[in-house]
């Protein structure tokens, strides 16, 4: 029996508008093939929302989000904000607010390498082969949400790194539960040798480890974890870490997958799920039709699995992506210029190939 779901699509800025269209088309195709009823609405957020309403997250979009079963998101950002840090209203404020308002405290980022992309990474294939990591990044605490100050003379600034025990515990539990269904290994990343917030983090994880004695728990400082991630990625299974550290580590881990254009993510709490590629708005290539749509398509696969419990359909999407790569089709970011049998194509052509393999 098919399922009925309401999906809010927020393309956002830059290439977000180009790639999200293909994530939505994949969901529509799955709905048709498996007799599901997916109803789509669209909302605005980020730079486009500021231009239209003065607000990076309009009330109308937030209300639609609250009523949705899941959200497919693109990206936010614009060069004008990068070049002028004094601007008070910024696209990122919309993203932080929707995470907070929807209680999206856990960001899941699977780093799974397709064998066909071993040569796309700058890391040696023999180091990469077999890497399969699932990151759990805490999403609503840390310096991103702590009190921010700037002195009157504008010469001193501070951001409060703050965590409460319950914030650490709830994401740690999700990470441990996931580890139980994988290789039963969890690495908690912190900086407990110098940061009090990290000491609380480690203390809570150590307490929970007793409840999950069937999972091997390892603690690692962020600087060492950053090194080990590129030195021996296969050693990691589930990685649990705070907001700031997780932001940095998962972007670093994009080199394992070959490109940010291959990495999907899910932001979840206890209700609506929020699914997005980890790449940004990439305004330098926006409108050129060359962005990689696979991360958005794989984000749709995550939605099918995590929010809707449609594991068969999710795997079908992943297999369609894998088949497309095996056929030699590539966007520019994952093409190996030394391989003659790679056919480099644009966003729409790549998305269309995945749809062909999905049918």
Q: What is the pLDDT of residue 18?
A: 96
Q: What is the pLDDT of residue 340?
A: 63
DSSP-assigned letters across all residues of 212-236? TTTSEEEEEEHHHHHHHHHH-GGG-
Q: What is the pLDDT of residue 251?
A: 86
In the chain, the N- to C-terminal Cα span, in Å, equals 20
Q: What is the pLDDT of residue 117?
A: 85
Q: What pTM, to 2 d.p., does this model score?
A: 0.87
Positions of the chain with pLDDT under 70? 337-341
d(CA 65, CA 333): 32
d(CA 189, CA 30): 37
Residue with tokens 């919309």: 94
As annotated, the active-site residues are 144, 191, 223, 247, 251
The rounded Cα 11 to chain-centroid distance in angstroms is 15
d(CA 212, CA 205): 10
d(CA 278, CA 290): 17
Q: What is the pLDDT of residue 85?
A: 82
* Residues paired with 241 in a beta bridge: 137, 189
**How long is the chain?**
359
Cβ 277 vs Cβ 295: under 8 Å = yes
Residue 186 main-chain phi, psi, to 5 deg = -130, 130
d(CA 65, CA 60): 9
Q: What does the pLDDT look like over 281-310, one tens digit per residue?
A: 999 999 999 999 999 999 999 999 999 999
Instruction: Look at residue 106 and give its three-state secondary structure.
Output: strand
- Residue in 65, 77, 129, 133 with CA at minimum distance from that of residue 102: 65
Q: What is the pLDDT of residue 2?
A: 83
Cβ 329 vs Cβ 273: under 8 Å = no
Q: What is the pLDDT of residue 338?
A: 57
DSSP-assigned letters across all residues of 287-331? TTT----HHHHHHHHHHHHHTT--HHHHHHHHHHHHHHHHTTEE-
**Kindly report the CA angle at 171 between 165 and 175, in degrees rounded to 5?**
135
Q: What is the pLDDT of residue 114?
A: 86
């Amino acid at each position: 029996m098919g399922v009925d779901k309401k999906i809010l699509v927020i393309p956002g800025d830059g290439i977000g508008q180009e790639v999200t269209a293909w994530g939505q088309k994949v969901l529509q195709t799955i709905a048709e093939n498996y007799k599901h009823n997916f109803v789509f609405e669209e909302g605005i957020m980020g730079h486009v929302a500021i231009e239209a309403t003065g607000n990076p997250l309009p009330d109308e979009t937030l209300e639609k989000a609250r009523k949705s079963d899941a959200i497919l998101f693109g990206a936010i950002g614009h060069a004008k904000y990068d070049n002028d840090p004094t601007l008070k209203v910024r696209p990122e404020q919309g993203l932080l607010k929707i995470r907070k308002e929807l209680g999206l405290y856990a960001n899941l980022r699977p780093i799974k390498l397709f064998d066909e992309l071993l040569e796309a990474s700058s890391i040696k294939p023999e180091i990469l082969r077999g890497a399969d990591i699932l990151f759990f990044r805490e999403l609503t605490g840390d310096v991103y949400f702590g009190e921010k100050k700037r002195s009157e003379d504008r010469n001193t600034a501070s951001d409060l790194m703050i965590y409460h025990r319950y914030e650490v515990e709830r994401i740690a539990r999700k990470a441990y539960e996931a580890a139980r269904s994988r290789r039963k290994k969890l690495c908690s990343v912190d900086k407990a040798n110098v940061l009090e917030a990290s000491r609380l983090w480690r203390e809570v994880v150590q307490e929970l480890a007793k409840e999950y004695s069937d999972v091997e728990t390892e603690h690692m400082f962020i600087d060492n974890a950053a090194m080990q991630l590129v030195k021996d990625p296969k050693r990691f299974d589930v990685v649990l870490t705070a907001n700031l550290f997780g932001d940095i580590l998962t972007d670093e881990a994009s080199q394992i997958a070959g490109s940010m254009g291959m990495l999907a993510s899910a932001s979840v709490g206890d209700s609506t799920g929020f699914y997005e590629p980890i790449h940004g708005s990439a305004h330098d290539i926006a409108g050129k039709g060359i962005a990689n749509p696979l991360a958005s398509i794989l984000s749709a696969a995550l939605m099918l699995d995590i929010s809707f419990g449609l594991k068969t359909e999710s795997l079908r999407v992943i297999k369609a992506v894998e088949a497309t790569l095996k056929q030699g089709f590539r966007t520019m970011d994952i093409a190996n210029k030394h391989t003659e049998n790679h056919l480099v194509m644009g966003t729409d052509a790549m998305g269309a190939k995945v749809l062909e393999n999905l049918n």
